Amino acid sequence: MAPVSSWRAAKKDGVTELVVSLILATALGAVVGIQRQVAHKPAGLRTHAIVSLGACAFALISHEVGDDRIAAGVITGIGFLGAGAIVRSGLTAHGLTTAASIWAAAAIGLACGSGVPTRYLIAALTTVLTWVLLAFSDFGLVGHLPARRSLAVKVTFDRERVSLAEIVAALRHETVNCRENDVVEYHSGDSGRVAVVGFAITFRPGDSIARVLGAIAERPGVLDACVDDAVATS
């Protein structure tokens, strides 16, 4: 009878651990989700709680069958769900923070379902730190930070007198964050000599847009430099 009693006790302990893991994952995911819902974001309490619960369930299944690929697949798969929260508007993307919080909720769930009680502490600390980071703006601190401005800038230039690389270097020299892969548009005129290039540029806080564009327009070979009103800005 002793072996049977021991087996029943072990089974009961196992079931209790599963229940605790699932409930804890749901509760911690809900804590993150509440902050997103209060902030009126597209993914709120239910989404984060279910993501954390689902990740925990996958981790528990992975632990039971001895296949780590199941839990590992959650890390990849959650990216597709997070992508649904991201909306692109002009040169900016909205929802990146919510997508990151969904990813964090999945990590919380995986920690809860790892089968190692000490990792409950990891899940709890991750929840607290995620919540604090998400709620940071509620303390009025973010609003006082200097904001960066993203704009579409169009430069018309003579290809025989100045190169695209020189224009990029000039923009970078004028304290503007600019790289060659920020080019969003490039075409030449009928003669092939005059080219128009559009840049997606992030101006550093305190930069004068008019000054920067004026300095670029004064460069030899540059015919015009202006903000491209045809492209949405933020």
| Tens-place pLDDT, residues 184-210 | 556 666 566 788 887 777 776 667 778
Q: Rounded mean pLDDT of 157-182?
A: 75
The pLDDT, as a whole number, for residue 53 is 92
**Is 60 exceeded by the pLDDT of residue 233?**
no
Q: How far apart, in whole angstroms, are the C-alpha atoms of residue 89 and residue 85?
A: 13
**Residue 163: other Cβ atoms inside 10 A:** 13
pLDDT over 70 at 231, yes or no: no
Q: Name the residue with higher pLDDT: 160 or 203.
A: 160
Which DSSP string do the residues of 40-68 spell out, in sequence order? T-SS-HHHHHHHHHHHHHHHHHHHHHT-H
Residue 129, pLDDT score = 92
In this predicted structure, what is the pLDDT of residue 36? Answer: 83
Whether residue 229 has pLDDT greater than 90: no
Higher per-residue pLDDT: 161 or 41: 161
Checking if the pLDDT of 122 tops 50, the result is yes
The CATH code for residues 149-227 is: 3.30.70.60
pLDDT at position 228 is: 72
Write out pLDDT tens, residues 12-39: 556 778 888 899 999 999 999 888 888 7
Whole-angstrom distance, CA of residue 204 vs CA of residue 146: 9
- In a 10 Å sphere around its CB, with 0-12 CB exposed, 13-18 middle and 19+ buried, how is residue 220 labelled? exposed
Q: Which residue has the higher pLDDT, 169 or 8?
A: 169
> In this predicted model, which residue has the larger pLDDT, 160 or 230?
160
Nearest to 124 by CA among 188, 209, 132: 132
> Domain ranges in the chain?
2-143, 149-227
Report the mean per-residue pLDDT for the chain: 75
* pLDDT tens per residue, range 54-113: 999 988 888 887 777 877 788 778 877 767 666 554 445 567 788 888 889 999 999 988
Q: Identify the weakest region by mean pLDDT among 40-54, 84-98, 123-137.
A: 84-98
